Amino acid sequence: MTRHFFLRSAQALLAAATLLTSACTAPRLMTMSGKVTPKGEFKAGGNLAFNVPTSTIGKTGSAVKEAAEQLLSQEKVDYGTSGELVDKLQIAALAYALDPVQPSSDLYVRYGVIDRLDVGYKYAFGSHVFDAMYQFLGTTGTPERPGGAAGGMYGSIGLQFATQRAKLPDLPFLDNINSLLQFTANRNDLMVPLVFSHSFGPEEEIGAISYGVVYAHTFLRYGFEPRNIYTNNQLIPSLPLGKQDFSSYGAFLNAKLGFRYAYVVPALALYYQNYGQYQLLNNKTTKLSGITFIPSIGLQFRIPTGRR
C-alpha cells in the first residue's frame, strides 16, 4: 500500500514538473531541514516554484515587448535612431538570464553517507545541482530509532554547486529579442546555506519548521552577436563572451508536514543581489540589482534501507 502511494505521488510530481521543462533558473529553493539524511537512508522528492525578481519585472514591461516586435519587423535596424530601444532589449535579455520571471521545477535525491553528512543531486530541467550538507547540531537517529526527545533542534551547513546554460525562456517577445541580438550565456552558481530546524515529534517524524540564511555567488559568461543591427551603415560589432560574477544574500523559511515516509514542504526564500555592471553593444553599460521572492511547494519521501 505504501509503495503504491509513493509511486502514484512520484508520477504526479513528475508529470507536473515536466510541464515546466522550459524553465531555466538557478535552483535557489531552500527546502532542507537542519537534520541531514540519516546514514544509509535516501530522500527523494520534487518542488514546484515561482521565481519573482523585482529587477527583471522592472526591465521587461510592455514597452520592451513592443520594441522587440517593432525592431524585428525591420530588415535593417539603425542603431543611430533606435539605439535606446536596442539597449533596452539587451538589458531585458540580461535580466532574464540572471533572474527570470517564471515557474520552475526540480527533482532530487539525497543519501546519508555517514552520520551527520549527506550528499544530493538535483535536476532542475536545464540545471544540474550537486551538494553536500554537514549536520553540526542535534541527534542522528531515525523515527524508528530516535536518538533524542521530541521537539529537538538541528543545525547544518552545506555547499551546493549548480551549472546550466542560461537560455532565455520560450516566450514570444524573448524569442524576438534573441532573434535580434543572438544572445548566448552560461552560468555556474555556488551556494552556502546555513539552516536550523525544530522537530515535530522525535527525529522529525511528523515534520519540522526550518529557517536559515544563504550566501550565493554566480559566475556568468554572456555575449551578443546581432546580424541586422547597423551603425554608420556598418554591422555593429558583436560582443564576444565576457565574464561577470556577483553575490546574493538570502533568508528562507520552510515547513515539512507529514508522517514518517511522506511530507509536503511549503517554502519561501528571499534574496537580495547587486548583479553588477554589464557591457552592452556599442560600448554601452548597464547596472542591475534587486530582490527576488521564491515561493514553492514540494513533496518529499523518506526511504529507509535498514542499513545503519
* The model's pTM: 0.87
pLDDT-flagged residues of the chain (< 70): 1-26, 166-167, 169-171, 306-308
207: left (phi over 0), alpha (psi -120 to 50) or beta: left
The highest-level CATH class for domain 2-303 is mainly beta
Q: Quick: pLDDT tens for 146-177.
A: 998 899 999 999 999 999 876 676 667 778 88
Report the alpha-carbon distance of residue 184 to residue 167 in Å, rounded. 7
pLDDT at 1: 47
The structural domains of the chain, with segments of one domain joined by +, span 2-303
pLDDT of residue 26: 63
Helix (H, G, I), strand (E, B) or coil at 269: strand
Q: What is the pLDDT of residues 267-282, one digit of tens each?
A: 999 999 999 999 999 9
Beta strands in 124-228 (DSSP E): 127-137, 153-165, 183-199, 207-224
Q: Can you give the pLDDT at residue 117?
A: 98
Say if CB 21 and CB 125 are below 8 A apart.
yes
The residue with cell 548597464 is 286
